[in-house]
Amino acid sequence: MTIDWQRVLPVLVSIGIIVAVAILRQYSKTFAAIAATMPINVPLALWIIYSGAPDDQSGLLRFFETMIVGLPPTFLFIVVAYIAARAGWGLLPMLGAGYLAWGIALALMLPLRALFNS
């Protein structure tokens, strides 16, 4: 049995990042927040997409374009969750509000992908 490291390594790196955030939060919430928002998932996702089809430049570009469209809804998730936390909401309602805002914003932003094809 051989291990497909192209598929396993990104998962292991992701687990390592989660562990690092859990450890860092004990020493510095600032460093934990920076680690949590570092562009780690982007290179991991690109690695997975690229290794699956290294010669598919147009597919890679479509992936980038969709990530660009997905960034504002992700930022809105953070802002809404922050506002909910400031209002004293618990974790689940806070995350629910954040995901609701993210989903609505994403639904509104997805049609913008067409701008990249013009």
pLDDT tier at 81, thresholds 50, 70, 90: very high
- Give 49's contacts (C-beta < 8 A, 6+ positions apart): 59, 60, 63
- Give whole-number Cα distances, 84 to 19, 62, 76, 99, in Å: 26, 34, 12, 12
Domain ranges of the chain: 1-55, 57-118
pLDDT score at 105 = 95
Determine how many CB atoms are found less than 10 A away from the CB of residue 114: 9
Which pLDDT does position 80 carry in this prediction?
98
* Predicted confidence (pLDDT) per residue in 23-72, tens digit: 888 888 888 788 777 787 788 888 888 888 888 899 899 888 888 888 99
pLDDT score of 118: 61
Categorize the per-residue pLDDT at 74 as very low, low, confident or very high, splitting at 50, 70 and 90: very high
Would you place residue 92 in the very low, low, confident or very high pLDDT band (cuts 50, 70, 90)?
very high
- Residue 88 pLDDT: 98
